[in-house]
């Protein structure tokens, strides 16, 4: 039997574990093994597989060594086969249709802030999922716990992304962006000149989440009126479970009730300014709750169904958001990431 690509198999396993929200150390074991195997010449790999010494390579353990041996022998690793067989997705038809209509993701983190993987690893995984684009939205300076990017670091990131885009597979593009903190007075935590340059700006509240309703309402309405903001991220800030909290910013709190604010006023501000409300797909957020989402659909809002991914496997969480969106009858043409990258950027430029 022709041998398989052990690096691809190890990466696929890591992806599926992440997608299933498994512990980070398990995912890491497969990613480090993939890196170690990629560095080892094929002859040496074959010899080690035959002699049973693969696990002596730094970064490779017993479990990963077995996967590599199976892969080299042309068999689908048992570990991989088991993951694939349990992954079965039985999304309702409306959710599947919505998922298929999505061309990208507007909320993605990299290891420049509190994500676990480099931009190129995230981009490669997104391209493999069939995305046409994602918006890179690392955190802003005040969110120090999540290594928020200063203006200088963001400028450097923009140069880096421009170079990466030249190397991306055909039909995939990294759009520039930020998840900018909405400060207490509703202003945004980054220089105007930079916000202006970015393709997409997601704005989120990460502090004083328990503030009283009138102040929180004013804060959100002011942010939505800011011409730079395009998408309001995880609007209630609620946390529904500790699972999936793999990153510093999102691990700080375990569970959390939704913030209180005047929903009608906030939605009216979104509509008046042509901004989108995010449907955050993270299993620990599921934000906004369905009752609010239904009100937003009826009010006529635009939406963005995003993963808020902090690791490659989490890029596939879009279906969780689609499932809830479909339950609340969100129309596909009002979801900004069903649009092409050009269409999306044309929309964000229309209010800057
Ligand atoms: Zn956030
Ligand atoms: Zn985020």
What is the whole-number distance in angstroms between the Cα of residue 81 and the centre of ligand 2?
32
What count of Cα atoms within 13 Å lies in the side-chain half-sphere of residue 82?
5
**Nearest bound ligand to CA 105?**
2
pLDDT tops 70 at residue 201 = yes
- Report how far ligand 1's centroid is from the alpha carbon of 206 (Å): 6
Task: Supply the pLDDT for residue 251.
Answer: 54
Residue 306 to residue 304: CA distance in whole angstroms: 6
Rounded distance from Cα 109 to ligand 2 centre (Å): 6
Instruction: Please give the distance, rounded to the nearest whole angstrom, from the Cα atom of residue 60 to the centre of ligand 2.
Output: 32
pLDDT (mean) for 289-297: 96
d(CA 275, CA 231): 6
- Return mean pLDDT, the chain: 93
Span from the CA of 51 to the centroid of ligand 1 (angstroms): 48
Distance (Å) from CA 274 to ligand 2 centroid: 22
Taking the centre of ligand 1 as the mean of its atom positions, its distance from the CA of residue 8, in whole angstroms, is: 31
| 67 CA to centre of ligand 2 in angstroms | 33
Residues 111-116 have a mean pLDDT of 95
**DSSP letter, residue 28:** H
Say how many Å lie between the CA of residue 319 and the centre of ligand 1: 19
pLDDT, mean of residues 182-211? 97
Nearest by Cα to 109 from 127, 135, 90: 135
Query: Distance from the CA of 158 to the center of ligand 1, in angstroms?
Result: 20
User: Which ligand neighbours the alpha carbon of 135 most closely?
Assistant: 2
Q: What is the 3-state secondary structure (H, E, C) of 211-236?
A: CCHHHHHHHHHHHHHCCCCCEECCCC
Determine the pLDDT at residue 83.
86
pLDDT band at 242 (very low <50, low <70, confident <90, very high): low
List CB contacts of 144: < 8 A, sequence separation 6 or more: none
pLDDT in tens, 224-233: 999 999 999 9
Question: What b/e sequence results for 192-208 when a residue is b if at least 16 CB atoms lie within 10 Å of its CB, and e otherwise?
Answer: eebbeebbbbbbbbbee
Q: Which ligand is nearest to the CA of 178?
A: 2
Question: Could you give the CA distance from residue 333 to residue 166 in angstroms, rounded to a whole number?
Answer: 30
- Which pLDDT tens digit goes with each residue over 20-32? 888 888 899 999 9
Cite the DSSP H helix spans in 135-245: 151-167, 192-197, 213-225
Work out the percent of the chain whose per-residue pLDDT is above 90.
86
Q: Give me ligand 2 centre to Cα 308, in Å.
A: 5
- Asked if residue 39 has pLDDT above 60, the reply is yes
Residues of the chain with pLDDT > 70: what percent? 95
Distance (angstroms) between ligand 2 centre and the Cα of 318 equals 14
For residues 256 and 133, give the distance between their C-alpha atoms in angstroms, rounded to a whole number.
32
**Alpha helices, DSSP H, located in 102-177:** 119-128, 151-167
Interacting residues of 81 by C-beta distance below 8 A, sequence separation 6+: none
286 conformational bin, left if phi > 0, alpha if psi -120 to 50, beta if neither: left
Name the range with the highest mean pLDDT among 12-21, 83-92, 278-287: 278-287
Distance CA 165, CA 163 (A): 5
Q: What is the pLDDT of residue 255?
A: 87
């Amino acid at each position: 039997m022709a041998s398989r690509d052990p690096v691809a198999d190890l990466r696929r396993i890591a992806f599926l574990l992440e997608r299933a929200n498994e512990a980070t150390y398990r995912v890491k074991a497969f990613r480090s093994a993939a890196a170690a195997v990629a560095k080892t010449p094929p002859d040496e790999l074959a010899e080690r597989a035959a002699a049973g010494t693969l696990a002596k390579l730094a970064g490779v353990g017993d479990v990963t060594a077995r996967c590599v041996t199976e892969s080299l022998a042309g068999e689908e690793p048992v570990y991989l086969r088991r993951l694939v067989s349990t992954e079965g997705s039985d999304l309702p038809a409306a959710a599947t249709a919505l998922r298929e209509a999505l061309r990208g993701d507007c909320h993605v983190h990299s290891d420049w802030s509190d994500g676990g993987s480099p931009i190129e690893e995230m981009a490669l995984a997104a391209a493999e999922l069939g995305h046409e684009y994602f918006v890179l939205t690392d955190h802003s300076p005040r969110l120090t716990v999540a290594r928020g990017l200063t203006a200088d670091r963001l400028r450097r990131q923009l140069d880096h992304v421009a170079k990466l885009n030249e190397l991306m597979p055909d039909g995939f593009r990294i759009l520039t962006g930020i998840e900018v903190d909405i400060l207490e007075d509703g202003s945004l935590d980054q220089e105007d000149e930079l916000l202006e340059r970015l393709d997409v700006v997601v704005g989120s509240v990460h502090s004083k989440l328990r503030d009283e309703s009138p102040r929180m309402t004013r804060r959100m309405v002011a942010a939505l009126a800011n011409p730079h903001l395009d998408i309001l991220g995880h609007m209630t800030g609620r946390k529904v479970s500790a699972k999936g909290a793999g990153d510093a910013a999102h691990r700080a709190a375990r569970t959390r009730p939704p913030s209180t604010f005047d929903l009608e006023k906030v939605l009216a501000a979104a509509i008046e300014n042509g901004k989108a409300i995010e449907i955050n797909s993270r299993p620990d957020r599921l934000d906004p709750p369905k009752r609010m989402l239904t009100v937003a659909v009826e009010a006529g809002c635009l939406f963005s169904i995003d993963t808020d991914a902090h690791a490659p496997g989490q890029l596939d969480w879009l279906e969780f958001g689609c499932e809830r969106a479909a339950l609340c009858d969100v129309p596909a043409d009002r979801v900004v990431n069903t649009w092409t990258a050009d269409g999306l950027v044309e929309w964000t430029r229309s209010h800057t």
